Structure 1
């Protein structure tokens, strides 16, 4: 690894995660090992006496969601146990390609987790703000909306009208006045990418 760059693939195990080696950009830790998060070149960065294992993309540098990042995502599929979505933005940066992500039922709200029902929190096509949790699987990010500022920021009614939030748990169609249940974000931030405001369910 020191003499020539090591090329790796997503999900490839790189080395032990111990007192000397730690996970950095483009990698994640699972069960005591460091794995690559993307295809690219392995780099070892010396920092504070540690060897930080990083992986950099072979082509142009692209933003990769990291633990703790606030992301904008679009809901794709909902089940009783989880919600599948695609991460479209990290912070203010629009991604070149979306990343798959999952919000588990227990990560939707901070309280009354056992009472959460996914279909009362999200619907396919919703635009949400969420925070990235520690990575435990190679190809899927886990997200949480268990903060007041996180949750649904843009939703459309069955007739295609953009709904407005009327409480923490409801949004309403301004044309038909029909109310729908959602896990509503406290504030609609200005940094939600404008291109996503017109997003349609995929």
Structure 2
């Protein structure tokens, strides 16, 4: 008896991509059939795989699957330390895109929120978000919990957490000079940040 033939392509699909017509392929894992259009769509992001049916099956349509990246990509969990890029700073919070969980990079988009009360451990009421973070800053933060609207609540309230890397107005990578300031090596100007303490 002939073996089932599996063909895995390098082609990547994202949710909503058309994988084929229902007359020609059957949906497998990571795919679904839309009855109104008779098209098979991807339901997740991953590699497209086509599985040929055994020759003794009446239905000779191959099965099309999408093999997701979730198995490989890291997912933030409460207690994990993440690296994130600040995207927006408001009066009471900053939002950031999570780039890495521990040493592993993420493959999906995860959003984190650093609330005013989670920036540092002391003098919480005096925290000024605009003097702690700027858009584009790379921060190390601790995941507190999965908040609302699919965003993770992040904390920088430990000495080793906070801004790791930031760009100055002149476009240079700034150097930390204290726990609250970073300096532009080109202009010598300092900017306020919640700086992560590196090393011992």
Question: Aligned residue for 2:151?
Answer: 140
Distance 1:136 1:175, change over 3 A: closer
Q: Which has the higher contact order (CA 8 A, sep 6+)?
A: 1
Q: Measure the CA separation in 1 of the matches of 2:95 and 2:149.
A: 16
Give 1:138 deviation, angstroms. 4.8
| Residue 100 (structure 1) aligns with | 111
Deviation at 1:98, TM superposition (A): 2.9
Aligned to 1:174: 185
Aligned to 1:59: 68
Tell me the CA shift for residue 97 of structure 1: 2.5
**Where does 1:30-45 land on structure 2 (aligned, <5 Å)?**
none
* 1:95 Cα offset (Å): 1.1
Residue aligning to 2:39: none
Aligned residues: 135
Contact 1:164 1:174 in 2 (8 A): yes
Cα RMSD for the two superposed structures: 2.1
Cα displacement string for residues 14-62 of structure 1 (whole angstroms, at most 9, x for unaligned residues): xxxxxxxxxxxxxxxxxxxxxxxxx8xxxxxxxxxxxxxxxxxx72313
Larger radius of gyration: 2
Structure 1 gap segments, 5+ residues each: 1-38, 40-57, 190-202
TM-score, normalised on structure 2? 0.64
